[in-house]
Structure 1
Amino acid sequence: MTDTQIQSGETDPGHSSDKLDKGVLVVAGVVVLGAIMSILDITVVSVALETFQREFDATAAEVAWTMTGYTLALASVIPLTGWAADRFGTKRLYLLAVLLFTAGSVLCATATSLELLVLYRVLQGLGGGMLMPLGMTILTRAAGPERVGRVMAVLGIPMLLGPIFGPIIGGALIDSVSWHWIFLINLPIGIGAIVYAWIVLPKDEVEPSETFDWLGMALLSPGLAAFLYGVSSIPEHGTATATEVWLPAVIGLALIVAFVPWALARRNIHPLVELRLFTNKDMTVAVLAMMLFAIAFFGASLLFPLYFIQVRSEDALGAGLLLAPQGVGAMITMPIAGVLADKIGPGKIVLVGIAVITAGMAMFTQIGADTSYAYMLTALFIMGLGMGGTMMPIMTAALATLTHDNVARGSTLLNITQQVAASIGTALFSVILTNELKQSAAVGQAGAISGAAKGSDDPSVLAQAAQSLGIDPGSLEAIFARATEDMASAFATVFIVATVLVGCCLIPAAFLPRKKVAPVDPAAMIGH
């Protein structure tokens, strides 16, 4: 396969239905390196929030901006990626994205204040936001539509394993070295990715550039940032009715809604995000399936480590290790699902995958304060088996029908959908869990005592804290035991919601292609 073929998406006919050749795998290696940096960073930093509170003498709400700032920057830059890839070329833009992310990482490690750390996290987000849609574009063009399922399976490895191994890596680095290393670890990876991409990715052959959609940019990027800011503020305030939540969310939603008719207007030949791709039925169904799945999957992903930490008193490292069976299950089925999606279509694969995830999630509706680890690890392994056959085949269903010219725009659309849905899912499950916990008097008492004791688990300190609150120190053991039981019950209730949401994904999945996907005419894709 020549460089030109890799860049254009043309494949050797002799390999069109065969396994991935060396040229595609080499390109996939570049993309996976970038994806690992971007996805691991999100979950690694989540482990360090308490450390940031101590280091910078800040509140939980203040340090949460290290996550929120990254997410908002990431969401704001995603819409630009499709246009920029066409204008500057995927190789140049990918190198820029890795450089921005790596530079932001190094700067984060040097931050001497929380304000600087948030600023540098925004810089990281600008690079990280481009890495995933660019990676999908590069891989899809390299493999061609006949093998997109297999290359999506390759890209899916960091997407599914990042949330699992991020806490393990983050916890280990913070415990053994310092918080600075959760950012410095990206330096050698980033340098390696830049050198690797410079050598391996073919030279860009950029066509005359499209006119930039300035009005679309003014509507969509601020709209996404404001909407996600409002949604991500829900867990902090515990309600969607707080002004700090609904006002930015409504403003953001209004800007996004205003973007829709502008993007679809006949005079707008090159909109920032190509909504006319929704004239493709397979693309539309895949986006709906992705949105529902991301809400359920990313929302539920929040629950597992929280259960192990809050109910079973595991530390971040222990919780991360306990989630490993999920990753093992996904690694087993993902390559198989990728091959089958190319051969028989993604529809059947996704239906089976969602059914398996639903079964695994349903097992968690029965958990208590002392449920055996063997039972929970088995449930996580089952869920992993299902995950390996779900998210990437859904993306395959969308991208396999796109022409070469539309791949960058389609990848952008999918990544916007995933980012918005993930934020909604996280906020939804956080609020449901918080409201469930509020109904327990024991949980409230235990929290008040721990707060008065400033997190200490020394019995004498706890007894003094209880006495200062007018609580009989002799009832401490009973209060904490009851609180643990009530917390476990709250998690079980929220897992019921998660199970139902995952099960609902079967509806759009039933409409995904159940035979080998064939590319369609470019004009039909955008309604011309």
Structure 2
Amino acid sequence: MTPTSSAPAAPPIPRSAIITAMVLIVGGIAVIFDSTIVSIALDTLARDLNVSVSTIQWVSTGYLLALGVTIPVVGWAQARFGGKRLWLSGLVLFMVASIACSLAWNATSLIAFRVVQGVGGGILMPLMATLAIQQVPGAANLGRLMAMVSLPAALGPILGPVVGGIILNWGDWPWLFWVNVPFCVIGFALAWKFLPADEPTGRARLDTVGLLLASPGLVGILYGLSNVHGDGGFARTDAWLPILLGIALLAAFVVWATRRPATALVDVSLLARRSVGSSSAVLFLSGASLYGSMLLLPLFFQIVHGTDALKAALLLIPQGVGALLSRTLAGKYTDAIGARVVATVGFVIMGAATIPFALADADTSQWWLMAVLLVRGFGMGAVMIPVMAVAYIGLDRAEIPHASIITRLAQQVGGAFGTALLAVILESSVAGAHSLADRAHAFDVAFWWAVGFTVVAIVICVALPAKPAATAPTPAPEV
């Protein structure tokens, strides 16, 4: 995969954009890592707070639902209050909620504080991409900039469980939340000094009808998917009914928003743009593959290979290393030859490196599987950069926040869908397993489904723009 000789050299990334990306990474690390750090601690929290696992599961579910409520509002809030003010407010809210979580005295208080924390995270997650992309004067270097600003999002699902396992092995669960505080404090100080100030655009009116359709719709879908893990899977009333109601509300929102794109909560007409629509579809599938596999991989090592939770998390480190190694190359080649080729190659590598897990059993060498994970992580990193960057090609400055919201939600819902589907497949296969070989076969079936996600994504990658666009977003004013 080499750039063609006719491809023009990409201009250097402006210094202001690099500084903005670095500042956003510091604050964003806490948000992205927190959601995956906590996931490994649910059993510990249930024991220490003397509640059932089904109750403590709301620590994750409440956070997820708060994201669903908040993310659609971020575009309006940025226009109303300004991006810098909103980012600083989100950091403060997330930090205060993190401290409150660490001081929680029972499960109810912890769940409540996690909901508040989810609101802060919902503000910050789409803003990371928006504030960085709005500093880029041309589409030619979107790939390299996205390689920087999306670093926490790529490594969070992989390294978060590792960090959580280490904390629980040598400390108590409150440290899962205290670890956020230094990043928030330093991130706030850097953002206060270095983030470019952007004034509100005067869009003061909130699309109330859109909010009452979009946020409950997303909550319904995410809530229903979170219940699929229980007995009955998608046949559970508390799974299929919220999902159907959520889809109906989102469909109504789309009808509402397309009739008034200038004032809609989220400008869904952007999905008609090839770059935004194809990127969102591929991000949905990449989210399904990434988060679904992150459910399977640690369970595979624990159930089939008999490792404890910490060792299972440590075995996943090569995947994070692989993702880190591919980021610079992926950004460079995305700018030089376009997103389609880079994303397709990344998905091929990712799918091929998942197949060994679909063939693995209790006797498969862990060293071999770690080498495979290194390759899989390399493909994963190569996928995320071009697919996330291509969504912003040719957009005006005012359209960028809406594209950030759409793509972030596509990945979030895709992750929830992939996790739910693979959980159902795994549970149905394990139900009839009576031996270790049977349990290994159950995981093989689930991993083949994960391979299937990547195959479908490869097909959809054909719709991605083939070459870097000549058009560019409106540059940010110099400050």
Fold shared by both chains (TM-score > 0.5): yes
162-171 vs 125-134, which deviates more?
A: 162-171
Secondary structure of 1:510's aligned partner:
helix
CA contact (8 A) 2:347 2:380 kept: yes
Q: How does 1:303-318 map to 2 (within 5 A)?
A: 303-318=296-311
- Which is bigger in relative contact order (C-alpha 8 A, separation at least 6)? 2
Quote the Cα distance in structure 2 between the aligned partners of 1:306 and 1:34: 30
Shift of 1:325: 1.0
Residue equivalent to 1:445: none
Tell me what 1:476 maps to. none
Q: Aligned partners of 2:335, 2:473: CA distance in 1, in Å? A: 19
Aligned counterpart, 1:247: 241
Amino acid at match of 2:179: I
Other-structure match for 1:452: none
1:278 to 268, 271, 277: 271
Normalised by the length of structure 1, the TM-score is: 0.86
What do the CA deviations read for 1:214-272 (whole angstroms, capped 9, x no partner)?
0000111011112210111010234212222122222222211111110111x453111
Asked whether 1:412 is paired with 2:405, we answer yes
1:86 and 2:38 are equivalent in the alignment: no
Matches within 5 A, 1:65-464: 65-144=58-137, 145-265=139-259, 267=260, 269-440=262-433, 442=434
Greater mean deviation of Cα atoms: 202-211 or 54-63: 202-211
Which residue is 2:5 aligned to? none
Equivalent residue for 2:454? 502
Alignment check: 8 A CA contact 1:342 1:517 kept: no
The alpha-carbon deviation at position 94 of structure 1 amounts to 0.4
In structure 1, what residue type is equivalent to 2:202?
P
Asked whether the equivalents of residues 83 and 409 of structure 1 are also in contact (C-alpha less than 8 Å), the reply is no
Structure 1 position 18, deviation (Å): 3.1
- Residue 413 of structure 1 and its aligned partner are, at CA, apart by 0.8
Task: Please give the alpha-carbon distance, in whole angstroms, between the structure 1 residues aligned to 2:261 and 2:394.
Answer: 23
1:51-83: CA deviations, max 9, x gaps?
111111111111100000000001110000111
| Structure 1 unaligned blocks of 5 or more | 1-14, 443-481, 523-528
Aligned equivalents of 1:300, 1:406: Cα separation in 2: 33
Q: Which amino acid aligns with 1:516?
A: P
In 2: Cα distance, 1:171 partner to 1:238 partner: 30
Instruction: Letter of the 1:168 partner, please give it.
Output: V
Identify the range of structure 1 (15-24 vs 490-499) with the bigger mean alpha-carbon deviation: 15-24
Secondary structure, aligned partner of 2:271: helix
Q: CA deviation at 1:173?
A: 1.3
For 1:366, the aligned partner's letter is: L
- Distance in structure 2 (CA, Å) of the matches to 1:106 and 1:209: 33
* Alpha carbons 2:210, 2:264 under 8 Å: kept: yes
Q: Deviations over 1:297-328 (max 9, x none)?
A: 21112111111122222222211211111111
CA distance, structure 2, for counterparts of residue 504 and residue 493 of structure 1: 17
Assess if the C-alpha contact under 8 Å between 1:86 and 1:408 holds in 2: no
Rounded Cα–Cα distance in structure 2 between residues aligned with 1:354 and 1:503? 8
* Equivalent position amino acid for 1:485 in 2: A
Whether the 8 Å CA contact 2:101–2:177 is kept in 1: the answer is yes
Aligned to 2:4: none
- In structure 1, give the amino acid aligned to 2:205: T
CA distance in 1, matches of 2:399, 2:72: 14
- Structure 1 contact 283–401 (Cα < 8 Å) conserved: no
Query: What does the per-residue CA deviation read over 1:423-474, in whole Å, with 9 as the maximum and x for residues that have no partner?
Result: 111101111000000012x2xxxxxxxxxxxxxxxxxxxxxxxxxxxxxxxx
Among all aligned residue pairs of Structure 1 and Structure 2, give the percentage whose two residues are the same amino acid.
Answer: 36
- In structure 2, how many angstroms separate the alpha carbons of the residues matched to 1:408 and 1:374? 43
What's the offset of the Cα at 1:155? Answer: 2.2
Aligned to 1:516: 468
Indicate the residue corresponding to 2:13 in structure 1.
Answer: 20
> Structure 2: any 5+ residue segments left out of the alignment?
1-7, 475-479
RMSD: 1.7
* Rounded Cα–Cα distance in structure 1 between residues aligned with 2:188 and 2:359: 47
Task: After TM superposition, give the deviation of residue 520 of structure 1 in Å.
Answer: 6.8
- Alignment partner of 1:272: what SS? coil
Q: Deviations over 1:365-416 (max 9, x none)?
A: 1100121012211211111111111012101111122111100111011111
Within 1, Cα distance between the matches of 2:245 and 2:339? 37
1:35 positional shift: 2.2
What do residues 142-169 of structure 1 show as CA deviations (whole Å, max 9, x unaligned)?
Answer: 1232221111111232112112211221
CA distance in 2 between counterparts of 1:315 and 1:99 reads: 36
CA distance in 2, matches of 1:238, 1:163: 27
Equivalent pair of 2:393/2:472 in contact (CA under 8 Å): no
Instruction: Give 1:86 shift.
Output: 1.4
Q: Taking structure 2 as the reference length, what is the TM-score of the superposition?
A: 0.94
What amino acid does structure 2 have at the position aligned with 1:243? T
CA distance in structure 2 between the partners assigned to 1:288 and 1:219 by the alignment: 22
Q: In structure 2, the residue corresponding to 1:249 is in which secondary structure? A: helix
> Amino acid of the residue matched to residue 260 of structure 1?
V
**CA–CA distance in structure 1, aligned partners of residues 217 and 262 of structure 2:** 21
